[in-house]
Amino acid sequence: MKLLLIIVSLFLSNNLFAAEQSLSQLLADIKKTQRQERSLNNTREAEFLAEKHNQQKLLTAAKAELATQDKRSHQLKSNLQANEELLSQLETKLKDRSGVLGELFGVARQTSGDLSAELSQSLISAQYPNRAEDLKKLTNSKALPSIEQLENLWFTLQHEMTESAKVVRYKGQIETAGLREMAEITRIGSFNAIAKGGYLRYSPESNILVSLARQPNSQYLNLIEDFSTANSGLETLAIDPTRGVMLSLLIQSPNTSERIDQGGIIGYIILSLGAIGLILALFRLFVLLQTGQKMQQQISQATANNDNPLGRVLLATEQTNEQNTDTLELILDEAITREVPALEKGLSLIKLFAAVAPLLGLLGTVTGMIATFQSISLFGTGDPKLMADGISQALVTTMLGLCVAIPLLFLYNLVASRSKVLIQILDEQSAGIMSRRAGN
């Protein structure tokens, strides 16, 4: 028991000694750390005090700079106000001195715009391109135009007027069916341009002369050929004073074949009947004229010929010695009756053609109007082009019917009158034969 107590007491004494040494070491460490922190704080405090002194200097300098800038700002504001007043005075002075020049420059800009639009559509621009560039700058400019710009405006105006009065030939590009080629171009002022026997139009988009997709009638193209081959003197040429408007309307109007096509199948039937009637009428007129000549020759001859109606009538009387007037009259009537159908041959057919032609024209008119009303019922009246075909057929067939009927009626009357003259000659000669036989 005593030994145990001794061991426990020794153990406790050792632990107490170790704990005392640990606390002493901890205290020493704490003191050391405090000394280091105090030294660091002193260093920071010294740096802060130094920085605070430097910031005070910077603040003083910034305040001095602010005062300088405030003073400069007041000075600039004073200068700005003075400059604005001076500018206002100068603008008033400029306005007073310019006076009418302001209106003059406005007129110059307006004239420049009008001339620029005119040049963009002028034929002369194909020969002298890019004339409107400087004019567009003058038109869009807000500043007063310079002397050079005004002189250029005057020169361009004078150049356009001078070239409008000239007939010139020059080599240039033309466009035909999408292909460009060099050709000799003849320009008649600002009205027309011709090349290769046809009229040209000016294309502002491509700045080139383009051949018309469809040329006017041959009567105008023949004038172009004569004009192109002439080297001096005066030559006749058709020009368009509206600078292309009348020419465009002229080439849009259909020609004769296109007019006939608008009449459709009825129009072709009318023309066919007219052609047949015309040929028949001319043939019968030719035959009757020849027959009339032979009958006139027969009147002056003593011998009867078998190549004409009068000769055949005379032969019929010579073949009989009958002196009875009644019997002779019957013989002559029979002979004349045989000759009359040959002299009146074809008259009824010509008259039929002359009567049927306007009736066919009326038929075409009715069918055309039916087609027109069908278009109106389907599509309304918003687009007149949809009704144009029916109206064209109605009018063209009527025109063709009248064009065929009128000359056929004149020819029928001519042929019928000639036939009646010949029949009258036969009647007169037969009456003469009867009177001579009765006298004997």
- Phi-psi label, residue 210: left if phi above 0, alpha if psi -120 to 50, beta otherwise: beta
> Which ranges constitute the DSSP H helices of 121-263?
124-127, 133-140, 147-164, 218-229, 245-252, 256-262
Check whether 188 has a pLDDT greater than 60: yes
Does one domain contain both 21 and 116?
no
CA-angle at 99, arms to 93 and 101, nearest 5°: 120
Q: How far apart are CA 302 and CA 311, in angstroms?
A: 10
Average confidence (pLDDT) over 1-23: 56
Chain-centroid distance, C-alpha 220: 21
Does one domain contain both 369 and 289?
yes
Check whether 15 has a pLDDT greater than 60: no
Does one domain contain both 401 and 296?
yes
Domain around 3? 1-98
pLDDT digits (tens, 9 = 90+) for 138-152: 777 777 777 888 888
**DSSP helix/strand/coil, 168:** strand
Q: How far apart are CA 219 and CA 212, in angstroms?
A: 16
What single-letter amino acid sits at 412? Y
Does one domain contain both 267 and 232?
no
| Strands 208-211 and 167-176, sheet pairing | parallel
Per-residue pLDDT band for 277 (boundaries 50, 70, 90) equals: very high
> Three-class SS string for 361-416?
HHHHHHHHHHHHHHHHHHHCCCCCHHHHHHHHHHHHHHHHHHHHHHHHHHHHHHHH
Does one domain contain both 62 and 125?
no
Q: Which of 219, 253, 287 is the last residue of a domain?
A: 253
Q: How far apart are CA 336 and CA 431, in angstroms?
A: 12
Q: How far apart are CA 198 and CA 364, in angstroms?
A: 37
Residue 148 confidence (pLDDT) = 84
The percent of residues above 70 in pLDDT, for the chain, comes to 84
List of long-range contacts for 67-74, beta carbons under 8 Å, 24+ apart: none
Average confidence (pLDDT) over 399-405: 90
Residue 281 confidence (pLDDT) = 92
Residue 324 confidence (pLDDT) = 64
Per-residue pLDDT band for 275 (boundaries 50, 70, 90) equals: very high
Average confidence (pLDDT) over 406-427: 89
Residue 168 confidence (pLDDT) = 85
Does one domain contain both 93 and 109?
no
Per-residue pLDDT band for 127 (boundaries 50, 70, 90) equals: confident
pLDDT digits (tens, 9 = 90+) for 84-102: 888 888 888 777 766 656 6
Residue 54 buriedness (CB in 10 A; 0-12 / 13-18 / 19+): exposed
**Torsion from C-alpha of 341, 345, 347, 353, nearest 10 degrees:** 140
Which run of H or of E encompasses 326? helix 325-343
Q: How far apart are CA 339 and CA 422, in angstroms?
A: 10
Does one domain contain both 107 and 235?
no
Chain-centroid distance, C-alpha 62: 77
Check whether 291 has a pLDDT greater than 90: no
Across the chain, mean pLDDT equals: 79
Structure tokens at 3: 């030994």
Residue 352 confidence (pLDDT) = 92
pLDDT digits (tens, 9 = 90+) for 152-170: 888 888 888 888 888 888 8
CA-angle at 248, arms to 242 and 254, nearest 5°: 135
Does one domain contain both 42 and 184?
no
**DSSP helix/strand/coil, 251:** helix
Q: How far apart are CA 130 and CA 297, in angstroms?
A: 83
Q: Which of 228, 253, 278 is the last residue of a domain?
A: 253
**DSSP helix/strand/coil, 20:** helix
Does one domain contain both 94 and 212?
no
Q: Are 370 and 390 in contact (CB under 8 A)?
A: yes
Q: How far apart are CA 434 and CA 60, in angstroms?
A: 162
Does one domain contain both 83 and 25?
yes
Q: Domain total for the chain?
A: 4
> Which ranges constitute the DSSP H helices of 99-164?
101-120, 124-127, 133-140, 147-164
Structure tokens at 180: 């460009």
Which residues on adjacent β-strands are paired with residue 188?
A: 167, 192
Does one domain contain both 287 and 419?
yes
Check whether 325 has a pLDDT greater than 70: no
Check whether 279 has a pLDDT greater than 90: yes
Q: Which of 201, 236, 253 is the last residue of a domain?
A: 253
Does one domain contain both 359 and 270?
yes
In order, the DSSP letters of 269-299 are HHHHHHHHHHHHHHHHHHHHHHHHHHHHHHH
